[in-house]
Amino acid sequence: DQQVKQNSPSLSVQEGRISILNCDYTNSMFDYFLWYKKYPAEGPTFLISISSIKDKNEDGRFTVFLNKSAKHLSLHIVPSQPGDSAVYFCAASGGGADGLTFGKGTHLIIQP
Amino acid sequence: SQTIHQWPATLVQPVGSPLSLECTVEGTSNPNLYWYRQAAGRGLQLLFYSVGIGQISSEVPQNLSASRPQDRQFILSSKKLLLSDSGFYLCAWDVGTYYEQYFGPGTRLTVT
């Protein structure tokens, strides 16, 4: 049973436009959500997070939106740049030291 | 600043051989430590986590084991590797307060 779902395996966006990556979750106990970026053969790097008490968090070109009623979050990247091409993982936590639950990732391709 | 090291970077092992992957963290004390695996076409699967020396929790029953002999050292082992153990192994740490986990560079394991 997949508790964190990223239904788009890949997404292609033109350079300079907005990239929107989506994530859905099923576990109501999740109270903290994170986005990670991963290049091939490297470990994921933390991008941005949001607590369940908020509905938006912004950091430079990256904004994460959380819709708790729909159990949905999204990552917006504006403007998209070539270096943004990577796999993006959505992750969720219910607190405690038992790790994060990850989605399968979305491969974002920024086209020139 | 904190850094996390993993070695080896790549490993090719025959079926039935033993395994030992090592992870060390610098610049922090008493971190929570995690082992994840990313198999081909799949997300990140939590294998083990540890909240302290000698304390190991397993998330997935398998032929792998983990140990934490020192505060900032985490080891992933197997007595006999299976083909299905192939994948990208990632070590991660956090301090349990802000939920963000920070990942090492990973080890690419190929079992032949």
Minimum-distance CB partner of A43 among B32, B100, B103: B103
**Please, are residues B94 and B100 in contact by the beta-carbon 8 Å criterion?**
yes
- What residues are paired with B102 via a beta bridge? B93
A89 touches chain B (CB under 8 A): yes
**Please, are residues B68 and B52 in contact by the beta-carbon 8 Å criterion?**
yes
Give the number of residues written for chain A: 112
Query: pLDDT tens for residues A35-54?
Result: 999 998 899 999 999 999 99
Whole-number average pLDDT of chain B? 91
Q: Which chain B residues are within 8 Å of A101, Cβ to Cβ?
A: 46
Q: How many CB atoms lie within 10 A of CB A38?
A: 21
The pLDDT value recorded for residue A100 is 87
Q: How many CB atoms lie within 10 A of CB B65?
A: 15
The pLDDT value recorded for residue A22 is 98
Q: How many CA atoms lie within 13 A of A43 on its CB side?
A: 24
Query: pLDDT tens for residues B98-110?
Result: 568 999 999 999 9
| pLDDT classification of A96: cutoffs 50, 70, 90 | low
The fraction of chain B above a pLDDT of 90, given in percent, is 72
Whether residue B65 has pLDDT greater than 60: yes
**Please, are residues B47 and B75 in contact by the beta-carbon 8 Å criterion?**
no
Q: Which chain B residues are within 8 Å of A97, Cβ to Cβ?
A: 32, 49, 51, 94, 96
Query: pLDDT tens for residues B68-77?
Result: 999 999 999 9
Query: pLDDT tens for residues B75-90?
Result: 999 999 999 999 999 9
The pLDDT value recorded for residue B105 is 94
**C-alpha distances in Å from residue B3, one per residue of A22, B68, B94, B102, B103:** 30, 18, 11, 9, 9
**C-alpha distances in Å from residue A38, one per residue of A10, B44, B70:** 13, 11, 29
Three-state SS at A75: strand
Instruction: Of B48, B97, B99, give the one whose Cα is nearest residue A32.
Output: B99
Most confident stretch, A36-50, A89-103, B34-48? A36-50
The pLDDT value recorded for residue B39 is 81
Whether residue A95 has pLDDT greater than 80: no
| pLDDT classification of A2: cutoffs 50, 70, 90 | confident
Q: Which chain A residues are within 8 Å of B94, Cβ to Cβ?
A: 97
**Please, are residues B59 and B48 in contact by the beta-carbon 8 Å criterion?**
yes
Whether residue A68 has pLDDT greater than 70: yes
Q: Which chain A residues are within 8 Å of B99, Cβ to Cβ?
A: 32, 34, 49, 93, 95, 100
Whole-number average pLDDT of chain A? 94
Minimum-distance CB partner of B99 among A32, A41, A89: A32
**Mean pLDDT, range A99-107, rounded to an integer:** 91
Whether residue A87 has pLDDT greater than 60: yes
Whether residue A81 has pLDDT greater than 60: yes
- Helices and strands, counts by H and E, chain A: 0, 11
- CB-count exposure of residue B1 (10 Å: 0-12, 13-18, 19+): exposed
